[in-house]
Structure formats: C-alpha cells, structure tokens
Amino acid sequence: MATVDLKDVRKVYGGRIEAVKGVSIAIPDGSMCVLVGPSGCGKSTLLRMIAGLEEITEGTVSIGGEVVNKKGPAERDIAMVFQNYALYPHMKVYDNMAYGLRNRGMARDEIDRRVREAAATLGLAEFLERKPRELSGGQRQRVAMGRAIVRSPKAFLFDEPLSNLDAKLRGQMRIEIKNLQKSLGVTSVYVTHDQVEAMTLADTLVVMNQGLAEQIDTPMAIYERPASVFVAGFIGSPAMNLLAATGGEPGKGLKLAGGAVVKPRDTVLPEAGREVLLGVRPEHMTLVSDRNNADIELKVTAVETLGADTLAHGHPVAGDLRSGELIARLPGSVHVADDDVLPLAIQPGMAHIFDAASGRRI
Amino acid sequence: MAEVARGASMAAALGRREEGGMLGVSRASRYTAHAILIVGILIVAFPIYYTFVASTHSLQTILRPPLPLVPGGRFWENYTTALFGGIGRIGGVDVGTLLFNTTVVALAIAVGKIVISILSAFAIVFFRFPFRMFFFWMIFVTLMLPVEVRILPTYKVMVDLGLIDTYTGLTLPLMASATATLLFRQFFLTIPGELVEAARVDGAGPWRFFKDILLPLSKTNIAALFVILFIYGWTQYLWPLLVTNRNDMNTIVIALRKMISFADADTQWHLVMVTCVLAILPPILVVVLMQRWFVKGLVETEK
Amino acid sequence: MSPRVVFPNKLLPYLLLAPQVAITLVFFYWPASQALYQSVLREDPFGLNSAFVGLANFRRVLSQPSYIDSVQTTAIFSVATALLAMVVALLLAVMVDKIIKGRGFYRTLMIWPYAVAPAIAGMLWLFMFNPTMGTFAYMLRSAGYSWDPLLNGPQAMTLVIAAAAWKQISYNFLFFVAGLQAIPKTLIEAAAIDGAGETKRFWTIIFPLLAPTTFFLLVINTTYAFFDTFGIIHAVTGGGPGKATETLVYKVYNDGFVNLNFGDSAAQSVILMVIVIALTAFQFRYVERKVHYG
C-alpha cells in the first residue's frame, strides 16, 4: 500500500511529439484515481510511465514516497490489468497467476496459497486448470485481475480493462472492480475513455486533454463545476449545451448570437461585450408553462424517447445556427413532437459561463 | 511479410473444408475426378515405387528390360547385401557412414537454422537498438544471394578457412538464411505488445520471456520449419559437391551420383537401387509422418 | 504494428544477432563481393597476376555464342518446367477439390516427390528412360521410336524437364489446393445460382480468383527451375549431350570449377545475381499488389 505521486511528468517522443505536457497528481493511499479523456490525450502514456513501461522524459513518479523513475516495471511493485487481458495463452489459469510470483522467487506453498485465495475471491476456483482460450471474456477479465491481486502490490494499474466486454458485463465488472479495490484498499490508477466508468469508479477524477490534466477533482465536483469547456463537454451525457453569447449591460443578462437575451439566475455574469460560451446541461433545463418565465425557447428538430427521459434536440427559437444546438432532457411523460416550441427555464445556479477564447470557466 | 500472413490463412483453409465436396458437383464428374487423380498419383508416385521395385529384383532382371511392375523376391537378399558391405564395395564408403553424414547434415542445418533465426528475429522484434533496420535488411538481402550465384568465391572461402571435408563446412554456411528469420519475425509481430508488457510487469527479463513465453508459443512454427529444413538439408546437392573431396564425407545423394557416374557393365544396379531407396526413405517418412507441420510450414514459409 | 514495448537492454540484441550476422558476412557478403570484384579482373591462367579490365569480362561473356545458347537453353528449360509442373498440379488440385472422400489419401501420395532430392529425382527418371536398361526407353524403342537421351539433345532436354517438373508438382499442388480452399464458398454458390455449370464456374470464377496463387507459383517455379535444378542436370546429363542442357547455373559451375575460367565465371555469377534480384523484387512487388486484392 502506498501513495502514488506524479510531479510535472512529461513525455516527449523523438524530441518533438509531446504526448504528456507536465502533469502533477497526488493519489492518496488506498484511493482510486481515474484518468479519463479522448484517445490520444496522453492518459495511457501517463499510466505506462507509472508502470515503468515507458521512459519518463521529465518530472518524477514516486510510489510510496520513493522516486521510481529509474526502476524497471518489475521493481516498482505494481500490478497491471491490460485492455486485452494479456494472459499467457499457453499457460493454465493457475500458472498465469503464479508466473509473476515465481519470477520473484516466492516459496511454492505461499504461491499456492495466494493463487487459491485470489481464485476464491474472484470465483475462479474451478477454472484454475483451464487455458485462457477455454474461458469467457468475463472470466479472462477476472484472471487478469487475479494476476494483479496475488501480487499484493503497492498499486494497481488498469489500462481500459473493460473495453472488450459487452455492455452488460461491463456494468457488472465495473461494480466488482470498485468493491474489490475498496476491500483490498490498494491504491489504483485506472485509465478509461468511458465517462460513465470514470464517474462511477473514481475517488479522484483526472480529465485529460492533449497531454494536460484539464481538471483534477472528485467526480461530482467536476460534474458540478467543470473547469473548462472541454471538461464540460466530456463529462455528462448527453454533453452540456454550449451557446455562443456576449456579456450584456450590467443587469441585462447575456446576448445570444441570434439576438435573444438570456438571464440565468444565481449566476455571476460576465462584463459587457465579453465573448463567452453559456453552458447548460440538458438535465438542468425545466419545461415551464408560461413563455414569460422561460429563459430560452427550444425549437424541436428531433426527439429521442428513452422511456424514463425524453431528449429534445433543436436550437433556440430566437437564435440561429450560430448560437448552437440545444438538447433538453425532459421527463419521459412529456409528449414532444418535431417543430414544437418548448419554453425552458434554466435551473438556478446551473448555468456555466466560459471564456470563449480560452475555454476556461469564468 | 504479407505473404506469410496469407500463408497462415491458407494453412487454416487447408485444415478446414476437409469434409464437404464442392456444391453442384455431379456424381459423374466426381468419378472422373477420382480417375484423373489416380492417373496423377501413378505419375507422381510411380518413379519412387518403381525404384523400390527395382531394389527387390536381381541384377540380371534389372539389366534386361522391361522391369516387372511388381516387387521381386530378392528384397532380403539385396537389402542385407547392401547394408552389410555391398554399397561399400561400389562407392568405397559403407552405407552407414553415408546415412550418418546425411543425417548429421540435415539435422545440423535444421536445428542450426532454427536457433540462429529465432535469436535474430527475437533481437529485431523485441529490442530497439542502433542499426536495427540495417541488420534486418542485411539478413533480408541474403535471399538474393543463393549459393548458385557465388559458387566459386564461396568455395575459396571454404578452402581458406580449412572447412573442406568437415561437417562444419557442410552445414555452417547453410545455416544463415533470411527465410526462417523472416518467418519468425512475422510470427513475433503477431504477439500482442501487451503480452510483453505483462511479462515485464511480472518480472520477466528478456531471457525469461524468451524461454517461458516466446518459445512455447512458437512450438508449432518450429515444428513446421523443422520439417521443411530437414528436407532442405537432406536434399542438398551443389554445396556438398563443392565442399567434400573425401568419399567418407559424402552425403548419400552425392555418393549415389558418383556410383551412377562411374557405372559400367559390372555396376551392381540392384544395390544402387537399394541405396536410392535408402536415400529417399528418411525424408519421405518425415514428410508423411509430420504431414500436418509440413504443409503448414511449406505454405507459410513459401520457400 | 510492432509491439511498442521492448526490452531496454543495449548489448543483448547485438549478441543475439551475432551468429546470423557473422555467418552472413563470411559466407554470403564476402563471397558475393569477391564475385563482383573478380568480375572486373582478368587473371592469367596460372593465377599469378590479375589486372583490372572493367566490363570486358561481361562483354566477352555476353558475346560468346555458348552463353547465348545457354540463356536460350535456360529459358526453354525454365518455361517448360514451370508450365508443366503448374498445369499438372492445377489439374490435380481442382480434381481433389471436387471430391469428398480420399482427400487425405491423395494428398499423402502427392507430396512424396517433395522429399526427393532433385539429383535423385533426375536419377529416378534416368533409370526409367536410360537407353540400356530403362523400361520406358525399351518400350519407346519397341514402339519404333528412336530414343536416346544420352545422344539426342532435345530428348535429353525433355527428360530433365520431366524430372524437374515432376519434383515440383507436390509443391504446386499444395499451394493450389490451399488457394482453391481460400476461395469463399459463397462465390461459387452465387455462380451456381446464376446458372454457371462446373466448367464455366472454373474459368469465370475459380481461375481468375486463383490468379494470385498462380502468379506467385510462376515466380517460385521459375526461380526453382533456374537455381534448384542444378542437381538434376549435373546428375542426369552433365549439361550434355553437347551443351544441349547447359543452363546458366550449370555453366557458372562448369566454367569456374571444371574450366577454371575465374573472370568469366565471376561475371556470370554477377549476371545471375541481377536475375535473382529481379525475380525477388518481382515477387515482393507482386505480393504488395496481392494485399490489395484482399
């Protein structure tokens, strides 16, 4: 058990391509840190630098307070779960789990004890004599987990471990991983591009974009106060609506690109003339009965009925395409049809204002 | 490169579809097919069969054509005579030595090639080092330099190194070739990078990875290649012809050729035929008994 | 894509490569460079002096009638061997693709010749067609045909072609069978539904789809006929009668080893190298295209 600390970690390939541009994260002992971001954002590179599979160009990685930059992956006392499981195809499940322990010269009976214990925890006891190809996807996933558990390492590293499973199994394994990590109390770093996985698993969530950590916080804090347009768009589904706007005269609200004026409540508004983006999550817009109480009117162009919810797609009536698309999440009981005009109110305090140029939260 | 991958899918296809005939093939045309195949087999297998037939007849029968189509009654007599000194009287070297030489050559070439190739493919795929691609191309280009195009200077090298009439001379120069290295490289490239990473996290260094993971995974490829290379070694001709002067260093193929070229009226043809059978039999056994590996190896290396 | 992760060792890869590189340098590159070097030298018959003569050796070799004859002989031999071996193999492979029972049996018998050394293949055929004791020679003569491959050039050529093609049938057969089985069955079914009969299906669907295999085998068979058949020629005809079966490779050997004409032999070696390089380049270019065919 140990803390994992990254200080200004950078990765440059071939002296030119900067994959990770200086990331610092402090992961407390026993907690789960999830790195999330689109492909190519540098999250996997970062994980592989923690693992020792990739050289660190600059900065330091410490595990348990000790700088491990110069250590090979085997010496860092970490265990890793891979996207494609990376089980040794010619070895039985038992040997797959035991291999790392044998390489460390552990006593046979201790290996046996650990493998059987891990197998029991993961429900793999009856599969120990099988080869990986005789197992289902979920079982292989468990073997990969088992291989990490038996090592009792200082840290678990997960590299998109669930992306090869079907949706149902993924949901199930997500919960298993969460519970296992909690009960074992092992510090973990988990890489994913799936924001649902990220939200549900993380103690600390790191949203990465183009080699930088855009925001590091708890999942709820990130959802509630995204630090940038990128984070706002990446966390939450459907994504947050972003409308181009300019700051109006004091007390007059915001001018949308199409000319309409919006005045969200309980929100600090930008100074007059400043180019901004107004962000509102689809679930934070409420259908009101009176047009006069509406902050914004939505002209519907498409409807998705999901059962519990209905998603109304369209654009602001007073605006045009320049002000952007708009999606509202309404209760499933509301009947909406194409070409309807919906009067919507933004829930108090639920509007986010970002600087149009920098994309940062104001 | 790409061709090896295609070979793999072809080999897979060979394994499949053993069961069904093609759709819409009438009964009549199936019978025709069998008839043509039987004729084909007669052509393809006949020369070998006929050699065996000749080896079971007496010298007089052989010298007075036509030779019967069925084996004669001298099987034991001819084979025991040939094996216990008879062949030695013709070529000056007993058949045991010849078979021993040929086996040594075939095994050494097959094993040596596999070892050398798997090591260099391992280096090229699993390490990054200066001049890596230079070495790769250097090995690749040997594809274009078969013995046949550099006979004389290679012979001179053998003389300078004192390798004439040695097992080293018979085998070592044939151990380096691009084909096996390319095959192993191709196979190694299909091994997922994650497996290497997992091994490293599990504390395996290069040697452990090679021994515990790479070798077991390469088993079928090694077996396939072994069959191909054993045949390759056994059937060598030009090379042993060049680097052996002493009869007792000959392979059986070369010895046979010498027996025939010195043939006169007194040649013991029935014993030559026995030698012929003995020269053909071991590689045929290897091919037939290890047919599965052989077909896989052949189609994949496309040698 | 190659595995991104590699082992960090610096010295080890060189050690692993060392055996192959050493053998390659000593037995491939050094002799090949010697061949290049000697091809521009002229040595006196006693090997005491040598002088740089530029491309004179090439000019002389290429203007020798015997070399031109040898080129012609090689061309006839290679084309005939490749065609014969491929046509027979294709026919047999197509037949085996039609049948249900006995595939394994036919295949097992069909692959025997692969295991036979080319030189021995030649000897087997010589044994059957040898004018003094060959059964088939006897039958030909009984039928009134004057058969003597030891004296008649074209007959000698026919014999070595037959032996060379015979040995290569196994190889071609296996590849054609694999090629046929790689053709999606649904295509054949679609053609059958479109009303194409067996023969028509072969020529309009199967044969065109087999083109990559055929093409590949053509290159391989040509290479085989060029280089690997040395043993057959050496064991059966020794290039004769006259020089009727003297192929280029046999001539290199003969001029160098028997006639000890090093400059000419080296120049011929270099010409052969160019041919191999062309064939190999052709083969790899073709493989590239093949990938696009899917």
> What is the count of residue pairs from A and C with beta carbons less than 8 Å apart?
4
| Residue B289 pLDDT | 87
| Residue B9 pLDDT | 39
| Residue B264 pLDDT | 61
Q: In chain A, which residues have their Cβ closer than 8 Å to the Cβ of B202?
A: 74, 99-100, 103, 147
Write the pLDDT tens digit of every residue in A331-356. Answer: 988 888 888 888 888 898 888 999 98
Mean model confidence pLDDT for chain A: 89
| Residue C17 pLDDT | 93
| Residue B177 pLDDT | 76
Q: In chain B, which residues have their Cβ closer than 8 Å to the Cβ of A191?
A: none
The candidate with the shortest Cα–Cα distance to B239, out of B168, B149, B147, is B147
| Residue A319 pLDDT | 55
C-beta pairs of A230-237 under 8 Å, 24+ apart in sequence: A230/A359, A231/A207, A232/A279, A232/A352, A232/A354, A234/A36, A234/A37, A234/A38, A234/A195, A234/A207, A234/A209, A235/A36, A235/A195, A235/A198, A235/A199, A235/A205, A235/A207, A236/A195, A236/A281, A237/A195, A237/A196
Alpha-carbon distance of B48 to B70, in angstroms, equals 13
Same fold, A4-230 and A238-355: no
Q: How confident is the model at residue B290 (pLDDT cuts 50, 70, 90)?
A: confident
Contact C123, B272 (CB under 8 A): no
For chain C, report the end-to-end CA distance as a whole number of angstroms.
19
Where would I find the H helices in chain B? Answer: 2-15, 27-54, 59-63, 75-81, 87-91, 95-126, 132-141, 151-160, 167-175, 178-189, 193-201, 206-209, 215-234, 238-243, 252-261, 269-289, 291-301
Asked: is A4-230 a CATH 3.40.50.300 domain? The reply is yes
Question: pTM for the full model?
Answer: 0.81
| Residue B12 pLDDT | 40
Alpha-carbon distance of B198 to B194, in angstroms, equals 6
- CA of A53 to nearest chain C CA: how many angstroms apart? 7
Cis peptide leading into residue A161 (ω within 30°): no
Average pLDDT over residues B152-159: 86
Q: What is the DSSP string of A104-147?
A: TT--HHHHHHHHHHHHHHHT-GGGTTS-GGGS-HHHHHHHHHHH
Q: Report yes or no: A82 at the B interface, CB cutoff 8 Å.
A: yes
- B14 and C111 within 8 Å at the Cβ level: the answer is no
Exposed, middle or buried by CB within 10 Å (0-12, 13-18, 19+), for A39?
Answer: exposed
Q: How confident is the model at residue A322 (pLDDT cuts 50, 70, 90)?
A: low
- C5 and A53 within 8 Å at the Cβ level: the answer is yes
| Residue A320 pLDDT | 53
In angstroms, how far is CA B21 from the centroid of its own chain? 32
- B197 and A104 within 8 Å at the Cβ level: the answer is no
Give the 3-state secondary structure of residue A166.
coil
Minimum Cα–Cα distance from C9: chain A residue: A72
- Comparing CB atoms, the residue among B201, B208, B213 nearest residue A73 is B201
- A100 and B192 within 8 Å at the Cβ level: the answer is no
- C269 and B116 within 8 Å at the Cβ level: the answer is no
| Residue C180 pLDDT | 87
Alpha-carbon distance of B225 to B219, in angstroms, equals 10
Q: How confident is the model at residue B20 (pLDDT cuts 50, 70, 90)?
A: very low
- CA of A123 to nearest chain B CA: how many angstroms apart? 22
pLDDT at A32 > cutoff 90: yes
**Where do the DSSP E strands lie in A218-359?**
241-247, 254-256, 261-262, 275-280, 285-287, 296-305, 309-316, 326-331, 341-346, 351-355
> What is the count of residue pairs from B and C with beta carbons less than 8 Å apart?
348
Write the pLDDT tens digit of every residue in B201-259. Answer: 898 889 999 999 999 999 888 988 888 899 999 988 888 988 888 888 888 888 888 88
Among B152, B172, B272, most C C-beta atoms within 10 A, so best to mutate, is B152
Q: How confident is the model at residue B23 (pLDDT cuts 50, 70, 90)?
A: low
Alpha-carbon distance of A332 to B124, in angstroms, equals 60
Average pLDDT over residues A112-120: 93
The candidate with the shortest Cα–Cα distance to A350, out of A276, A267, A290, is A267
Average pLDDT over residues A134-151: 91
pLDDT at B4 > cutoff 60: no
Minimum Cα–Cα distance from A71: chain C residue: C8
Q: What percent of chain A has pLDDT over 70?
A: 98
Residue spans of the domains in chain A: they are 4-230, 238-355
| Residue B262 pLDDT | 58
CB atoms within 10 A of CB B83: 18
Q: How confident is the model at residue A158 (pLDDT cuts 50, 70, 90)?
A: very high
pLDDT at B3 > cutoff 50: no
pLDDT at A156 > cutoff 60: yes
Minimum Cα–Cα distance from C5: chain A residue: A53
- B127 and C139 within 8 Å at the Cβ level: the answer is no
pLDDT at A53 > cutoff 60: yes
Contact A351, A264 (CB under 8 A): yes
Write the pLDDT tens digit of every residue in A250-260. Answer: 777 888 876 77
- Comparing CB atoms, the residue among B34, B132, B196 nearest residue C3 is B196
| Residue C245 pLDDT | 85
- A80 and B213 within 8 Å at the Cβ level: the answer is no
Q: In chain C, which residues have their Cβ closer than 8 Å to the Cβ of B125?
A: 2-3
pLDDT at A190 > cutoff 90: yes
Q: What percent of chain A has pLDDT over 90?
A: 54
Q: E strand or H helix at A35, and its extent? A: strand A32-36
| Residue B103 pLDDT | 93
Q: Edge-to-edge strand order for the sheet containing A78-81?
A: A78-81, A155-159, A187-192, A32-36, A204-209, A212-217
Q: Report yes or no: B198 at the A interface, CB cutoff 8 Å.
A: yes
Q: What is the CATH number of domain A238-355?
A: 2.40.50.140
The candidate with the shortest Cα–Cα distance to C228, out of C161, C164, C279, is C164
Average pLDDT over residues A100-104: 90
Query: Which chain A residues touch C if contact means CB-CB below 8 Å?
Result: 48, 53-54, 72
The four Cα atoms B240, B246, B251, B253 give a dihedral, to 10 degrees, of 80
Kindly give the parts of chain C with pLDDT less than 50.
1-3, 288-294
Among C5, C6, C9, C10, most A C-beta atoms within 10 A, so best to mutate, is C5
Q: How confident is the model at residue A218 (pLDDT cuts 50, 70, 90)?
A: very high
| Residue A164 pLDDT | 85
**More reliable by pLDDT, B144 or A193:** A193
Of A307-316, B35-44, B199-208, C234-243, least confident by mean pLDDT is C234-243
Contact B224, B300 (CB under 8 A): yes
Mean model confidence pLDDT for chain B: 81
- B203 and A74 within 8 Å at the Cβ level: the answer is yes
| Residue B15 pLDDT | 39
Average pLDDT over residues A27-42: 93
- A86 and B217 within 8 Å at the Cβ level: the answer is no
- Please, which chains are in contact with C (at least 3 CB pairs closer than 8 A)? A, B
Alpha-carbon distance of C177 to C171, in angstroms, equals 10
Q: Report yes or no: B213 at the A interface, CB cutoff 8 Å.
A: yes
With a CB cutoff of 8 Å and minimum separation 6, the contacts of B20 are: C100
Cis peptide leading into residue B66 (ω within 30°): yes
| Residue B301 pLDDT | 55
Q: What percent of chain B has pLDDT over 70?
A: 87
Q: E strand or H helix at A191, and its extent? A: strand A187-192
- Please, which chains are in contact with B (at least 3 CB pairs closer than 8 A)? A, C
Q: How confident is the model at residue B263 (pLDDT cuts 50, 70, 90)?
A: low
Minimum Cα–Cα distance from C13: chain B residue: B123
| Residue C44 pLDDT | 67
Minimum Cα–Cα distance from A100: chain B residue: B202
With a CB cutoff of 8 Å and minimum separation 6, the contacts of A76 are: A51, A52, A63, A68, A154
Give the 3-state secondary structure of residue A258.
coil
Q: What is the ipTM of this complex?
A: 0.84
